């Protein structure tokens, strides 16, 4: 799965949320969040955890 990094940053900004806070809420490491923001792909499970932490459907943040 590839999360659209622009959509991810937009969702973070809407919630005034840092990468660190997203990592804490999703249970995903900050390093993984950084990789995703750099355009790397992630597993479906990680994508779902991030979507849940942002309270959006995973399709909304996918490329």
The pLDDT value recorded for residue 47 is 96
Residue spans per domain, the chain: 5-61
Question: pLDDT confidence of 7, banded at 50, 70, 90?
Answer: very high
> What is residue 25's predicted lDDT score, i.e. its pLDDT?
97
User: What pLDDT, on a 0 to 100 scale, did the predictor assign at position 22?
Assistant: 97
**Complete DSSP assignment for 4-26:** -HHHHHHHHHHTT--HHHHHHHH
Structure confidence by residue, pLDDT tens digits, 19-32: 999 999 999 999 99
What pLDDT is recorded for position 9? 94
pTM value is 0.92
Count the neighbouring beta carbons within 10 Å of the beta carbon of residue 55: 9
CATH topology of domain 5-61: 434 Repressor (Amino-terminal Domain) (1.10.260)
State the DSSP string of 34-45. HHHHTT----HH
């Amino acid at each position: 799965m590839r999360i659209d990094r622009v959509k991810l940053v937009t969702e973070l900004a809407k919630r005034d949320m840092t990468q660190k806070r997203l990592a804490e809420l999703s249970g995903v490491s900050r390093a993984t969040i950084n990789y995703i923001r750099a355009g790397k792909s992630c597993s479906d499970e990680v994508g779902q955890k991030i979507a849940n932490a942002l309270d959006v459907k995973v399709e909304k943040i996918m490329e």
